[in-house]
A and B are shown apart, each in its own frame.
Chain A
Amino acid sequence: MRKDLVWLFAGILFFGLLYLLNWGVKAISTDLLVWIGAFLTLAILSFLYQDNAFYKFAEHLFVGVSAAYWMCMGFWNTLVPNLIAKLHPPIVKGVLPAIAEKPPEYWYIIPAALGIMFLMRLSPKAPWISRWALAFIVGTTTGLNLVRYLRSDFLGQIKSTLIPVIVVENGSLSVGGSFSNIVIVVGVLCGLIYFFFSKEHKGLFGVASRVGIYILMITFGASFGYTVMARISLLVGRMRFLLGDWMGLLQ
């Protein structure tokens, strides 16, 4: 007998015993949707043991349903309001009455043409046409992101680091404030040196680069702990669903 089937029977036996011994299972949910949710949660969690038929079922169901969901979302949230409603507003009178009153904006024919060019990938004779649309997307988004990153990551970061390394408060030296500022300034400078690719990291430059990577690793460590805590709260949420909403063991 396959191991996963053994675990399945063990699970059924466990829940059956719980029910028979009446350990608070009186409050078990009678809502079919909660049962489906609990089954799918357990099916996905069963992957922690090994790949099995339940996981495969939940995985394929999730992928299929979500792909269809996003396709519908793409149609109703992007194609309808951003293209169809712009080119021929009366057509969306039933679903978007506010837009339906506006005059048509015919320059939206350009994105429509780009979209059709993109679909030319499906044509066996001229799939190369789709590259033009692709080039347009990559080019424009790169340009837009350049300004965005230059503004927030470059100028913003530099401005935040323009701080005194010796902090004087009420006429006397602030040791804590000075230490914090030194860590910030040295950390940013050493981090920049680590990501400098035009020079070999040797000598003093290499030392600064190593300090940079140490600072990065310390930051990653702190971030790791913080994120693990957030993940545990997700697990707690699922456990509350299983033990509370489904089994009624939690009040």
Chain B
Amino acid sequence: MKAFSYSFTFYCLLGLILLATTDGLAQVESSDSLLSPLLPPSEVIAEDHPGDAGAAIIVRWKLSPDEDRGVTGYEIVRSTSPTGEFSSIGFAAAGSNRYVDANTEDSLTYYYKVLAIDVDKNVSESELSPPARSSPQWFNFHLLNLLIIGGLICGAVIYFIAHAKKGKKLFLRKIAGLEAVDEAIGRATEMGRPILFIPGILDMDDVQTIAAITILGRVAKTIAQYDTKLNVPTSRSIVMSTAMETVKEAYISAGRADAYSDDFVHYVTDEQFGYVAAVNGIMVRERPATCFYIGAFFAESLIMAETGNAIGAIQIAGTAMPAQLPFFVAACDYTLIGEELFAASAYLSGEPKQLGSLKGQDVGKIIAMSAIVIGALLETFFAISGSSFFGSLAELVHKLFSIVAS
């Protein structure tokens, strides 16, 4: 028992000594690391940002060797003279080794330094970068693949337009919602009620609004022939102007210029829900027989479609807004889904330009489908076999459809 007691005391003492020693060593190491100066980033390079319109320089550097020792980030400073005063232009997070200075003047030469900063606010300054000057480029090679693919699709569009202009027939499949347009206008005529056309709530810079105005032209032409009243409330002034021009032209081409009135198209307000409140009011007071919701919509889609449903109107909707399509599908009689909206304007007008454009877009879809099939097969072969041959081919297809960030 005594022997056990001695040995127990001995080992306890030994353990305490060891603990104290290792703790002390750790403290010595820790204090050593705190005392050693923070090492700066190195190999700072500044060069013109490629493929841009000038006014930008990229600064790159090699991370501080003390990156793992509490570096919180890097401050980038610049000067127009190597001996001049350097001023801060921005910060990069820890681990970043590049910064784009997008506020330069092309006529000036700049010098950069990168400062590593740690948790204790210690700062360590790099060497000076070589001089750099920003300049504009005519061509952005990072977007070469975009040019090739865009060129292919645009080329196909031009080819099919020329084809259609020669009088050759271009086949387009039927679009269900469009068959109902004439029927809906005819119903409004029979009932002696107006037709409401909502061209979305975005401006003319949205492609859906452009498609909506094209469809409005075709709808207005039929309305002019049927001598029915049209009401187009808009939420953008430019859309109002464009819609007015389109409706006027439609009435003239239908030989009913006398029946046209500027009151058909009117501005309400830019405010989304103010516009909805007004449209709902118009619906319940004028009780249109047919409502068209064609264009870009947001939260107002269901409110309007439900009101139209409540007044018993035939409703035809068309939008490419994915979040609003479910509401139109649920509340309207016919819905043009996504690209059907753009196809509709071509289908209805029958113009060579629009038909050719649609056929050209189908070429784009063939390119997309082929690329997906080939790319997915190559990726699958690579995943199964691990062959570098399939791997490099798959990477090539990836690169072709990637936009490289410069």
Contacts and interface: CB of A to CB of B under 8 A. Distances in A.
A59 interface: yes
Given A162-B376, A220-B325, A151 B403 contact: yes
B238 interface: yes
Contacts of B380: 164-166
Interface in B249-282: 267-271, 273-275, 277-278, 280-281
Given A147-B150, A151-B403, A200 B271 contact: no
B238 A162 contact: no
B205 A223 contact: no
Contacts of B1: none
Contacts of B284: 50-51
Given A67-B269, A67-B274, A196-B362, A189 B397 contact: no
Interface in A100-139: 118, 121, 130-131, 134, 137-138
- Label chain B's interface by main secondary structure: helix
A195 to B, nearest CB: 5
B371 interface: yes
B340 A162 contact: no
B19 interface: no
B329 A217 contact: yes
Contact of B372 (A58, A67, A161): A161
Interface stretch (A8-16, A30-38, A87-95, A152-160): A152-160
B207 A142 contact: yes
Contacts of B172: 197-198
Given A150-B149, A163-B376, A196-B362, A145 B277 contact: no
B364 A154 contact: yes
B326 A221 contact: yes
Contact of A63 (B274, B339, B362): B274
Contact of B146 (A69, A155, A220): A155
Nearest to A177: B383
A179 interface: no
A35 B172 CA distance: 58
B359 A147 contact: no
A130 B269 contact: no
Contacts, number: 178
Contacts of B398: 159, 162
A235 B27 CA distance: 60
Contacts of B376: 161-165, 185
Given A62-B273, A164-B382, A192 B365 contact: yes
B224 interface: no
Contacts of A50: 284
Contacts of A157: 368
A151 B340 CA distance: 21
Residue from B149, B340, B372, B398 with most neighbouring chain A CB atoms (10 Å): B372
Interface of B: 145-146, 149-150, 153, 170-173, 175, 204-207, 210, 238, 241-242, 245, 267-271, 273-275, 277-278, 280-281, 284-285, 299, 302, 322-323, 325-327, 329-330, 337-340, 343, 358-359, 362, 364-365, 368-369, 371-373, 375-376, 379-380, 382-384, 394, 397-398, 401-403
